[in-house]
Amino acid sequence: MSLDTGNFTEDANGTSVTTPPNIWFPSEPNLPSYNVTHLVPRGDAGSCDVSTKYGIMAGIMAVVCFMFGVLYTFFGYRFFKAIMFLTGFIFGTVLVYMILEEHAVLPPWGTLGVGVGAGVVLGLVTMLIPHTGLFLTGFDLGVAVGGLILVLVEQFVHPSTKWIPISVLVVLGVVFGVVGLRFQRVVTIVSTGVLGGALALAGVDYFVELSRMSRYFWDRVLAHHSASPCWYSWLMLALWPCLTFAGVLVQWRFTGSGIDHRIALRSRTEQGANLQHARAREKRESQQTRYRHLYQARRVKGDVISQNFIQSIQHKLSPAMQSLTALNVEPNEEESTATTTLTQVS
């Protein structure tokens, strides 16, 4: 196997231009070319020969898909918050990546970076806003069901435009998304089982047939003509509902038994409300303590602040009246303490 070092071509001015090497798939002589999105060899789409010409980055992505698929399938509902993030991340990354790659507006690394960035943002939204994550989980379930329907319909009739399958997927996604908001636990378990099985088999599909069946699914979404899959492609598709059933059963009976995400969300909300009540109570107690110190300062001879005013009035009285209304202007020890307390509180 030789490494791809790039191709030398000439432009319209006669200047030699070097095409960057393909970092996703190794190059071999007399083999059809690959690119990032089309994992199946374009020039050999009808062949059922098993190819082992794997790419490094594509192989890593396939392994990651398989690991995430196992996590989804058997532990989806148990790790609710993590699954909500992964649901948004995978949905945003795949959708943006496929759209940009279809129009070829950016180089491969730029397309991948934009897709990952969009996935991170959507993942944070679905994790921090639970109802958004629940709706998107149901939406993904509807898209998966719609994809199966499109594969079955393709065996009898081919859609005339890509807007027909896209409309079917969107309508089913919205319907299942609304149902997911109503029946949260059931739809979450079923959806994680379906999506997990799809991710795990997509990773295996790459090592078996270079993602031939995955590409066939994507062609159904865009209403592209494509060669009929091989017999082991249909075997991979038949394993999907079996793996889904096993995942739903394991979650329902074991990993997700006795767990309710609504209780956890409600407890976090109540903790936040209790914290706010505690802070308000501390503020009220602080105000009451301040008023109590003020009362202690005033309880001996009235308001300490007004004593200077009273003394100024006494000087204006006659000597006889001054003797009758004489006040001891020397504050005692208790008054001094009260005045000091009032000054500190103020």
Is residue 9 domain-resident?
no
Is residue 37 domain-resident?
no
Do 155 and 217 share a domain, yes or no?
A: yes
Do 242 and 283 share a domain, yes or no?
A: no
Do 245 and 282 share a domain, yes or no?
A: no
Provide φ and ψ at 117, rounded to 5°. -60, -45
Instruction: For residues 139 and 171, give the distance between their C-alpha atoms in angstroms, rounded to a whole number.
Output: 9
Average pLDDT on 304-320 reads 64
Instruction: For residues 259 and 172, give the distance between their C-alpha atoms in angstroms, rounded to a whole number.
Output: 28
Q: What is the pLDDT of residues 292-308, one digit of tens each?
A: 655 555 555 455 555 66
Is residue 35 domain-resident?
no
Residue 12 has pLDDT above 90, yes or no: no
Do 98 and 216 share a domain, yes or no?
A: yes
- Written as one letter, the residue type at 305 is I
Instruction: For residues 279 and 101, give the distance between their C-alpha atoms in angstroms, rounded to a whole number.
Output: 52
Is residue 180 domain-resident?
yes
Is residue 118 domain-resident?
yes
Do 211 and 336 share a domain, yes or no?
A: no
Q: How high is the pLDDT of residue 342?
A: 42
Q: What is the pLDDT of residues 130-147, one digit of tens each?
A: 899 999 999 999 999 999
Cα dihedral across residues 181, 81, 83, 133: positive or negative: positive
Domain closes at, from 259, 280, 306:
259
Domain closes at, from 229, 259, 289:
259
Is residue 91 domain-resident?
yes
Do 180 and 129 share a domain, yes or no?
A: yes
Q: What is the pLDDT of residues 194-235, one digit of tens each?
A: 999 999 999 999 998 888 888 899 899 988 888 888 888 898
Give the total number of structural domains in the chain.
Answer: 2
Strand partners, 2: 27
Domain closes at, from 208, 240, 259:
259
Strand partners, 9: 17
Do 281 and 220 share a domain, yes or no?
A: no
Do 58 and 193 share a domain, yes or no?
A: yes
- Written as one letter, the residue type at 76 is G
Q: Which domain holds residue 211?
A: 16-27+49-259
Q: What is the pLDDT of residues 163-192, one digit of tens each?
A: 999 999 999 999 999 999 999 999 999 999
Closest CA to 74 of 244, 310, 291: 244
Are residues 76 and 189 in contact, defined by beta-carbon separation less than 8 angstroms?
Answer: yes
Indicate the pairing of strand 16-19 with strand 7-10: antiparallel
Is residue 178 domain-resident?
yes
For residue 52, count other CB atoms closer than 10 A to its CB.
6
Is residue 2 domain-resident?
no
Do 279 and 215 share a domain, yes or no?
A: no
Q: How high is the pLDDT of residue 271?
A: 56
Residue 27 has pLDDT above 60, yes or no: no
For residue 148, count other CB atoms closer than 10 A to its CB.
15
Q: What is the pLDDT of residues 102-161, one digit of tens each?
A: 888 888 888 889 999 999 999 999 999 989 999 999 999 999 999 999 999 999 999 989
Do 199 and 286 share a domain, yes or no?
A: no
Q: How high is the pLDDT of residue 5?
A: 46
Do 200 and 327 share a domain, yes or no?
A: no
Do 249 and 293 share a domain, yes or no?
A: no
